[in-house]
Amino acid sequence: MKKLVFAAAALAFGLGTAHAADSVTLQLKWVTQGQFAGYYVAKDKGFYEEENLDVTIKPGGPDIAPPQVIAGGGADVIIDWMPSALASREKGVPLVNIAQPFKKSGMMLTCRKETGITKPEDLKGRTLGVWFFGNEYPFLAWMSKLGIPTDGSAEGVTVLKQGFNVDPLLQKQADCISTMTYNEFWQVIDAGIPAEELVVFKYEDQGVATLEDGLYVLEENLKDPAFVDKMARFVRATMKGWDYAREHPEEAAEIVLENDATGAQTEKHQIRMVGEINKLTEGSNGTLDPADYERTVQTLLGGGSDPVITKEPTGAWTHDVTDKL
């Protein structure tokens, strides 16, 4: 009898483990916020579970570099901007873009209207706040395209290394600063400067936008069919999460807030952020458009005397995952 009980227990255990969920660890590019709503929604709504996945979402921050995390084995897949990913690839971290949930760029330059700046040519002689750590390359490519040097001359611009805040514009240390459509732009408005007193230049409109918030894995892992299948299920569930966020932005924002362990985010800001992020993911089914990739590469190669990449990348993206969706 004991043998029968043991056999039954062993069989039950075997059946239980036969369908054990595949684990996936995702490293975000930044802290928990509406920028990543699709992932949190997919987890909260059980979309990952439906694909037999157990997904762990690791928040990022100013001291966390996703390429370093995945290179060190701390994640299976990361979210990164393509300039950073391609730079990392050229430096020896073989990142490959497997999906592109963000179709458009949210980066722009925001100026005080009182400065008299109305068009890109008016930027000459001005002080501009620019993010660095790889975020400066679209700006440098834009200035190169306009023929405006970044040497601080009268016919050029003075570049102010901007922190991740909007203080230079508020304190009038800079005529314009870097902002994202879904974050810092609204921080300026919340600080008391209404939209009608601002002039914005979207990098998307200037033809120098680079791809943001793509999904990247290590090249060697794509040799494993099981890993490719797992990533296909992950991307499929993720895009379902983004679809849901577009249909239910306020609920998506609430889900983000529930996952914010810091308690730093506010409901108003997150609802607004999700609404703006939805504009960037709209039109994407997760598949990278080769033309968007090529535009990004050419923008990076044209970024002045110190380009983020020195040659055309090879093998930096694949449709192997999204072809299975």
Distances, alpha carbon 27 to alpha carbons 55, 84, 203, 211, 316, in Å: 11, 14, 26, 18, 19
User: Do 83 and 112 reside in the same domain of the chain?
Assistant: no
Task: Give SS3 for 6.
Answer: helix
What residues contact 137, with CB distance under 8 A and at least 6 apart? 83, 210, 299, 300, 303, 307, 308
* Spatial contact of 21 and 50, defined as CB atoms under 8 Å apart: no
* Spatial contact of 288 and 68, defined as CB atoms under 8 Å apart: no
User: Do 99 and 113 reside in the same domain of the chain?
Assistant: no
**Final residue before a domain boundary, out of 206, 236, 270:** 206
What does the pLDDT read at residue 287?
98
Taking the C-alpha atoms of residue 186 and residue 152, their distance in angstroms, rounded to an integer, is 28
One-letter amino acid for residue 309 of the chain: I
Taking the C-alpha atoms of residue 218 and residue 76, their distance in angstroms, rounded to an integer, is 8
User: Do 253 and 317 reside in the same domain of the chain?
Assistant: yes
What does the pLDDT read at residue 305?
66
Task: Give SS3 for 57.
Answer: strand
What does the pLDDT read at residue 301?
87
Burial of 156 (0-12, 13-18, 19+ CB in 10 A): middle
Could you tell me the CATH number of the domain that includes residue 193? 3.40.190.10
pLDDT < 50 regions, the chain = 1-17
User: Do 146 and 220 reside in the same domain of the chain?
Assistant: no
Distances, alpha carbon 28 to alpha carbons 65, 79, 196, 248, in Å: 9, 5, 34, 22
Strands (E), 103-241: 107-112, 127-130, 158-161, 176-180, 198-202, 214-218
User: Do 56 and 90 reside in the same domain of the chain?
Assistant: yes
User: Do 180 and 231 reside in the same domain of the chain?
Assistant: no
Taking the C-alpha atoms of residue 236 and residue 229, their distance in angstroms, rounded to an integer, is 11
Q: For residue 43, give both structure tokens.
A: 């987890």
* Spatial contact of 183 and 36, defined as CB atoms under 8 Å apart: no
User: Given the DSSP bridges, would you call strands 53-58 and 22-27 parallel, antiparallel or unpaired?
Assistant: parallel
- Per the structure, the count of domains in the chain is 2
User: Do 217 and 314 reside in the same domain of the chain?
Assistant: yes
* Neighbour tally for 262: CB within 10 Å: 9
Domain that holds residue 179: 107-206
**Final residue before a domain boundary, out of 178, 206, 234:** 206
What does the pLDDT read at residue 217?
99
Task: Give SS3 for 17.
Answer: helix
Q: For residue 62, give both structure tokens.
A: 């100013």
Task: Give SS3 for 102.
Answer: coil
Q: For residue 297, give both structure tokens.
A: 């590469």
Q: What is the dihedral of CA 20, 242, 280, 88, to 10 degrees?
A: -10
* Spatial contact of 81 and 210, defined as CB atoms under 8 Å apart: yes
CA-nearest of 210, 219, 220 to 288 is: 210
Q: How far apart are the first and last CA of the chain?
A: 49
**Final residue before a domain boundary, out of 206, 239, 258:** 206
What does the pLDDT read at residue 303?
65
What does the pLDDT read at residue 306?
67
Residue 129: phi and psi, rounded to 5, are -80, 125
User: Do 230 and 160 reside in the same domain of the chain?
Assistant: no
Which helix or strand (DSSP H or E) is residue 100 part of? none
Taking the C-alpha atoms of residue 96 and residue 283, their distance in angstroms, rounded to an integer, is 22
User: Do 11 and 99 reside in the same domain of the chain?
Assistant: yes
User: Do 59 and 186 reside in the same domain of the chain?
Assistant: no
User: Do 121 and 23 reside in the same domain of the chain?
Assistant: no
Distances, alpha carbon 197 to alpha carbons 108, 167, 173, 183, in Å: 16, 16, 17, 18
